[in-house]
Structure 1
Amino acid sequence: MSVSLQSLQQQINSIPNVTGSGVPVQQYVSEEQQILTQQLTSVPNQELTTISNQTSALNSLQTALQQLQTATQSLASASTWSPVTATSSNQTSFTVTAGPGALVSSLGVSVTQLAQGQISVGQSIGSSVTSGGTFEIFGASGTSGTPLATITVTTGESLSDVVADVNLDSSTTGVEAFIMGNNQLAFESEQTGSASAFTVQDQTGNFISSQNQANVQTAQDASISLAGVTVTSSTNTFSNVVPNVTLTVLATGTGTLNISQDTSTLVSSVQSWMTAYNNVIDLLGKDTAYTPATSSSSGTSGPLLGDANATGLLSQLPNAINSLVSIPGDTLQSLSSVGIVVDPNTGHLEFQSASGFTINGKNFGGSLQDGQTMFENALSKNINNVEQMFGVVAGTTLQTVIPTSGVLGNLNNAINQFVGFGSITGSIPTELQSLSTQSDNINQYLTQVNQTINNRIADYTSQLNALNASLQRSQSQLSLIDSLFGGTAASTASTSSSSGSSSSSSSSSSSS
């Protein structure tokens, strides 16, 4: 019996646990949690990663499409196609700027008079008023009308206080007062032009009278002769005297105003539009790419490989760009007819290269006309037909418009399907919403799974702790029983072990 007790105690003590008797609860619990987590959450987490990558790629694609949409609508504006440069042959006398819509022209300009305001100076009255009174300020119509303001001055009032009183009414009179020279009360119109003229009438003669008031500067309009026609302005700026042109006069003199077509600005606008298109093509190429597996790496797929929106864009955008537009009486039919082509290697829109394209080491196209030169020549020949082929919306000065025809109209319609327009939701926002819903559902599922895992781990921990408590009790009971037998279990086991060893040794010698 003692051997059986000892054997049982040894079995209990042999249970793996580095800290003593019993099972290693923390180790077993950690291993169990890792197994459950791996089994139950790895697939949903992989799905979440896939959805996250798709969402990020679609958001980038949507942003690039919106930028292309803006560039398309900007290029469709007539104001973009009317860039001009305005110059002055005598910038000392006048400067000029021109906006979209200004007509190419050359006009003679003669600046005969600059605009100025009125300045009037009164008598010297000392630093303070010795005799009070009133004076009135009238507008350009003279003293026959109602005064714009009546200023009352009290005896002993400082001259600076009188100035302050006048300036309180400046918003009504358009006249400001200031102190000049030997304590002289002076007045100045706030604006330039003949309409800013004023009259100060002193009722008492203490401040200004017709005898001692001097108009040191008379209010007058600016005046120019433009192509022989006299034009005036209350300021030194003339706006739209020539449509969409602003002319600022600086000094009297003569010169020539020149307005010429600015082709470089239009070329830059077209290049910006092509860049926006190329950015979309690059994103689509990157996110739909598949890299085959090699001996050292597994194959990889772009986040939008097989995505319906990406696949649709890869076909619809080039179709819109390459669409044919018939222009009556002209050979213009497509972008290629004005020097804009698609590079077969990259899918990029660009001005045609004079050397053509090289594909797999072979040149196609040979010696071609430079695309930008073709575009500029088409503009010079008939810019209206080029605008019609593009789909420019005529008669507008807005910076962006909605094209409905031509290449730009076709492209804008294609983009609208994907990003949406007005109250119509595009297919990309719809897909993003679907992915968001899927992500929410998976996260809800993971929350439930993690709660289940936590519950199972809690039960498992409780069971292991109960097992350890039971093992500790069993060990204590066996130790108590063994002690009641006087430790015979240990000595018997020792004797048996010794006898076994002797017998084994004897048998070995005998065999020898």
Structure 2
Amino acid sequence: MGTVGLSFGAATSGQGFDVASTVTQIQASEQAIETPWKNQLTALQAQDTVFTSLGTDLSTLTTSLQALTDFQGVFAEKQGSSSNTDLLSLTAADSTAVAGSHTVVINSLAQTSSEVSSAISNASDTLSGSVTIQGQEFDIDSSDDTLATLSAAINAADIGVKASVITDSSGSRLSLVSGTSGAAGQLDVTSSLSGASSGAIAFQVGQTGKDASLTVDGVSVTSSSNTVSNAISGVTFQLLGSSAGTEVQVEITNDNTAIATAVNSFVTAYNAVIKDINTQEGKDSSGNPEPLYGNPTLAMIQSQLTGSLFAGAASGSINNITQLGIGMNDDGTLTLNADTLNGALNSNFSDVTGFLQNSGSFAQTMATTLNNLGTQAPNGAVYLAQQQNSAQEAALNTDISNEDAVLAAQKTQLTDELNTANEILQSIPSQLNEVNEMYSAITGYNTGNGG
């Protein structure tokens, strides 16, 4: 405990001293023990903030790399185009499609079977008899004895036929349309219907069910629908017209635009991590070292991350990232040349894919490196650094709490002792006065007037 000089004037003044400030002075040296602990705690907490940000950016980098290594990701996406969109329109090209050119000739479109009844002059005319559709007989009774109620009954039966009432200037008719396109949906309708005022009601074919007929790369193909998905693997297209002998070129290409976007996202995410590291290698605006300046974990992350850019096996003609248009700047960040990447994709698509997705490839090797650098438990470098800091912070907080408890007990003791001493000092004048009065009473000498 440090030595503190008390200043309370003459002992006979009765002034005493300020107990609270005296206790503070006495404990100042003891409290100074906590200063380096608190400074260390503040430094560790500043490191935690940087590690958290770095961990987030490493996670973003991992996610961006996964977009390139995913077998069903952007490298599997395809685009399609038609040389004659009046006859054929591309609908979709999925990951099973293979880039290439196909020649399609549309001989005839698919048709959906339909039939329509003869007209009756009054739509509310009462019907009688029966109608059989696709083998399902509908006997007319009071619940379905008009065109409207009969139409509703057919639809409710759910036999794969859509019924409706069509009304024009010549009267009203019952329209039947197959729910299945092509030849397989051909309607079979027999009728003994009659109307109270119109007589027998007959049905006639509106359109015959027919499959589409086309050739794809010289191979004859039929389709029950004008939406064709069985002609080119992974490709769906819509037939819009027929013109026998007219060739339509269908081009299936890799989606270079989506790939370029994914590669650019990777470059951006990588640069964010490098900028995090570069920032920690200097001083802040006040001239103080950054929280992770000289930190070995940071140096290890930088070394392994940079090294991973040049690791991994080659794939055919592609053996380094510069062939993908990715170059390194002086500060360690990356830039992407979109033209170089597009050229590589157009000329060596499978090799580029392998460079990113083959076992032991560049991207697969970097993915393994990233798994060892981030916040992944139990071995991620950032995770381990955070755990180490957490343990140190817990120990420091315990030391500070224990010291605070000692100081609190000491403060109570000192305050009690100094209050007692202060009371004694403050009572001295009255005690001296009592002595003087006793002396005067005994001697008759008055100390108060100097006599």
TM-score under structure 2 length normalisation: 0.72
Q: 1:439 to 1:318 in 2, by over 3 A?
A: same
State the partner residue of 1:366.
none
Instruction: Say yes or no: does 1:247 pair with 2:237.
Output: yes
Question: Among 344, 350, 363, which residue is 1:408 paired with?
Answer: 363
Q: Deviations over 1:234-292 (max 9, x none)?
A: 443222522333212334455332345665554444333333322222222223x1339
User: What displacement does 1:135 show?
Assistant: 5.8
State the partner residue of 1:426.
380
Alignment of 1:80-229 (within 5 A): 80-81=74-75, 85-96=79-90, 97-100=92-95, 101-110=97-106, 112-116=108-112, 118=114, 120=116, 124=120, 130=126, 137-138=133-134, 143=135, 147=136, 153-154=141-142, 164-170=152-158, 173-181=159-167, 185-190=174-179, 192-199=181-188, 211-229=201-219
User: What displacement does 1:73 show?
Assistant: 3.4
Q: Deviations over 1:181-211 (max 9, x none)?
A: 2665544445544444445666876799994
Q: 1:153 to 1:52 in 2, by over 3 A?
A: farther
Are the equivalent residues in 1 in contact too, given 2:81–2:251 (CA < 8 A)? Answer: yes
State the partner residue of 2:13.
11
Instruction: Kindly provide the amino acid, as one letter, of the partner of residue 15 in structure 1.
Output: G
State the partner residue of 1:396.
none
CA–CA separation in structure 2 for the residues paired with 1:231 and 1:218: 19
State the partner residue of 1:61.
54
Instruction: Kindly provide the amino acid, as one letter, of the partner of residue 90 in structure 1.
Output: N
Are the equivalent residues in 2 in contact too, given 1:115–1:192 (CA < 8 A)? Answer: yes
CA–CA separation in structure 1 for the residues paired with 2:241 and 2:401: 79
| Structure 2 residue matching 1:57: 3-state secondary structure | helix
Are the equivalent residues in 2 in contact too, given 1:107–1:226 (CA < 8 A)? Answer: yes
Instruction: Kindly provide the amino acid, as one letter, of the partner of residue 160 in structure 2.
Output: G
- RMSD between aligned residues: 4.8
Give the fraction of aligned pairs with identical amino acids, expressed as a percent. Answer: 23
User: What displacement does 1:308 show?
Assistant: 3.5
CA–CA separation in structure 1 for the residues paired with 2:138 and 2:400: 83
CA–CA separation in structure 1 for the residues paired with 2:127 and 2:433: 126
Q: 1:191 to 1:38 in 2, by over 3 A?
A: farther
Question: Among 311, 327, 341, which residue is 2:327 paired with?
Answer: 341
CA–CA separation in structure 2 for the residues paired with 1:483 and 1:130: 138
Q: 1:57 to 1:234 in 2, by over 3 A?
A: farther
Instruction: Kindly provide the amino acid, as one letter, of the partner of residue 101 in structure 2.
Output: S
Alignment of 1:13-92 (within 5 A): 14-15=15-16, 23=18, 25=20, 31=24, 35=28, 38-39=31-32, 41-77=34-70, 80-81=74-75, 85-92=79-86
| Structure 1 residue matching 2:232: 3-state secondary structure | coil
State the partner residue of 2:335.
350
Question: Among 279, 290, 300, which residue is 2:282 paired with?
Answer: 290
Question: Among 382, 392, 395, which residue is 2:357 paired with?
Answer: 392
Q: 1:418 to 1:232 in 2, by over 3 A?
A: same
Q: 1:195 to 1:483 in 2, by over 3 A?
A: farther
Are the equivalent residues in 2 in contact too, given 1:111–1:249 (CA < 8 A)? Answer: no
Q: Deviations over 1:127-163 (max 9, x none)?
A: 768578876653xxxx2xxx4x868753588876655
Instruction: Kindly provide the amino acid, as one letter, of the partner of residue 39 in structure 2.
Output: Q
Q: Identify which range, 195-204 or 298-307, moves more after superposition.
A: 195-204
Aligned length: 428
State the partner residue of 1:360.
none
State the partner residue of 1:364.
none
State the partner residue of 1:238.
228
| Structure 2 residue matching 1:241: 3-state secondary structure | strand
| Structure 2 residue matching 1:301: 3-state secondary structure | coil
User: What displacement does 1:91 show?
Assistant: 1.9
Q: 1:168 to 1:378 in 2, by over 3 A?
A: closer
State the partner residue of 2:4.
none
Are the equivalent residues in 2 in contact too, given 1:83–1:261 (CA < 8 A)? Answer: yes
Q: Identify which range, 303-312 or 375-384, moves more after superposition.
A: 375-384
CA–CA separation in structure 1 for the residues paired with 2:118 and 2:410: 101
Q: 1:169 to 1:28 in 2, by over 3 A?
A: farther
CA–CA separation in structure 2 for the residues paired with 1:440 and 1:151: 87
Q: Structure 2: which 5+ runs fail to align? A: 1-8
State the partner residue of 2:305.
317
Are the equivalent residues in 2 in contact too, given 1:124–1:185 (CA < 8 A)? Answer: no
